[in-house]
Structure 1
Amino acid sequence: MYKLIAIDIDDTLINDNREVTPATQQALEQAVAQGVVVTLATGRAYASAQAIARQTGLNVPIITYQGALVKNLLDEKVLYERYMPQDAAHKLFEYCIQKNLHLQTYIDDKLYAREENQKLIDYTTLNGTAYYVEPDFSKLVAQPTPKMLIIDEPDYLDQIAPEIREILGDGVHVTKSKPNFLEIMHHEGTKGHALKFLAGHFGCDLSQTIAIGDSWNDHEMLEAAGLGVAMANAIPALKDIADYVTLSNNEDGVKHVIDKFVLNAE
């Protein structure tokens, strides 16, 4: 019944040691062997996500930057791309200057920040991403970007998120991938939009898709998919909208979903 599975990476596909376990790897391979398209859907940059995708042997398009970029692994052809509106990018930059917020942007799949600080170091250590420091950040803001990201304390981000939405308007999508990461994309740069695109690309109905995630940035694709799955370690709000709650990322929760709904092993 299911022909396409979209899986978040952090705290979903990989465990707390940032590994895809052999058991989960085997389940992915078995699903692919049955003709199911298995893809990744992540907030990570393509450069970071493709390294994990290649490790797992996938050779299909993957969803990156929360859905703002869908790109082939095989020939790196861009299939779907949504850049942040220019005026919104400028407004966000000015807002972050006024509030003294740490802002990151991505140009040509490279991560840039105004200054090197602990927030930047911790983020890039977590994702295994190289970074570049550009003090003259305004010249970067003028260039197309699939995503901008603010790092701060979770409560403070919750406080300023409505302000940012109001300032930037309907042209953007604002979400959280982790409690201290506030991410801003084009309003069609969501995992839900990207999943719909990929379903059409592979000629399958959305009812034949599975989406698996753990954070609020996954809710659009869980709602779009035929089967929306939240991890046991997911935030409560995501579990509330999920069709099914699987085991945690440290208990091979992704394997459990594949076994139960694709391989019919249970």
Structure 2
Amino acid sequence: MTQYKLIAIDIDDTLINDEKEVTPGVQQALEQAVAKDVVVTLATGRAYASAQKIARQTGLNVPIITYQGALIKNLLDEKVLYERFVPMDAARKLFDYCLEHDLHLQTYIDDKLYAREENQKLIDYCALNKTPYYVEPDFAKMIHQPTPKMLIIDEPDYLDELIPIFQELVGDQMHITKSKPHFLEFMHKEGTKGHALTFLANHFGCKLEETIAIGDSWNDHEMLECAGLGVAMGNAIQPLKDIADYVTASNNEDGVKQVIEQFVLNQD
């Protein structure tokens, strides 16, 4: 049986339940895995500032994967291990398109969230992630600063119609994914959770076959595909379940705990 050495866990709808909490059962499983010298990390679309709060609450002290994989940063000394910025030319094309079609676009600079105007989409997004935001009417100047991620918020069906357009416009330069039905996210081509998991496995000197990746959304598929054991949550979208090696219980039923017990602690 494989001895897994590294576990990468998505945060929203995976590690945390619908009340946005890490349950005592999941917390105990994380601690038991760490006690067995397994590296437990987070892999999230969230900004580092938001993700690190959860990581610290759960007692983790390793590098974490943020911005879909565009930034890996140590929790202990906040040293950047891996960073990929959105190409400037692609950022400009995306900005111009969003301006022309009145789409809500936000960007992240030095771990701060910026938008062109305050609207309900921005307010709701920041309430969801408990993230402060900054409004910059002269948004064009923000586009010329390095960013790990840009994000459009809109209705899921409309975003699905836009994806082929953006693939044509910037797909050769950007990794485009949905983290949630309403969120369309844009990173560097190497800003994926799969690239980040590969980097961390190498960093910790373990093989990809010795890694576990757990997630619920399509933005998790790259890491599930490259991990030794790709796990979809019980509440995951069907396409992710279809490619997973294993489907666990939902985020409200301690699905992460079940995975750790079965595959790391070897408890059925």
- Deviation of 1:169 after TM superposition, in Å, equals 3.3
- Name 1:66's counterpart in structure 2: 68
- Deviation of 1:12 after TM superposition, in Å, equals 0.1
Give, in whole Å, the separation in 2 of the partners of 1:140 and 1:165: 23
- Deviation of 1:171 after TM superposition, in Å, equals 1.4
Give, in whole Å, the separation in 2 of the partners of 1:242 and 1:261: 15
1:209 aligns with one of 208, 211, 220:
211
Per-residue CA distance 1:77-104 (angstroms, 9 max, x = gap):
0000000000000000000001100000
Give the residue type in structure 1 aligned to 2:217: S
- Name 1:130's counterpart in structure 2: 132
TM-score of the two chains, using structure 2 as the length reference: 0.99
Quote the sequence identity (%).
Answer: 79
Tell whether 2:199 aligns with 1:197.
Answer: yes
- Give the RMSD, CA atoms, in angstroms: 0.4
Give the residue type in structure 2 aligned to 1:32: V
SS at match of 2:159: helix
Give, in whole Å, the separation in 2 of the partners of 1:95 and 1:71: 32
Give, in whole Å, the separation in 1 of the partners of 2:218 and 2:199: 20
SS at match of 2:250: coil
Number of positions where the alignment pairs a residue of Structure 1 with one of Structure 2? 266
Tell whether 2:239 aligns with 1:232.
Answer: no
Aligned 1:71-90 pairs, distance under 5 A: 71-90=73-92
- Deviation of 1:165 after TM superposition, in Å, equals 1.2
SS at match of 2:44: coil
Which runs of 5 or more residues in structure 2 are unaligned?
none
Which runs of 5 or more residues in structure 1 are unaligned?
none
- Deviation of 1:146 after TM superposition, in Å, equals 0.2
Give the residue type in structure 2 aligned to 1:159: E
- Name 2:152's counterpart in structure 1: 150
Tell whether 2:55 aligns with 1:53.
Answer: yes
Give, in whole Å, the separation in 2 of the partners of 1:128 and 1:242: 30
Per-residue CA distance 1:192-231 (angstroms, 9 max, x = gap):
0000000000000000000000000000000010000000
Give the residue type in structure 2 aligned to 1:65: Y
Give, in whole Å, the separation in 1 of the partners of 2:225 and 2:53: 27
- Name 2:40's counterpart in structure 1: 38
Aligned 1:246-257 pairs, distance under 5 A: 246-257=248-259
- Name 2:95's counterpart in structure 1: 93
Per-residue CA distance 1:46-77 (angstroms, 9 max, x = gap):
00000000000000000000000000000000
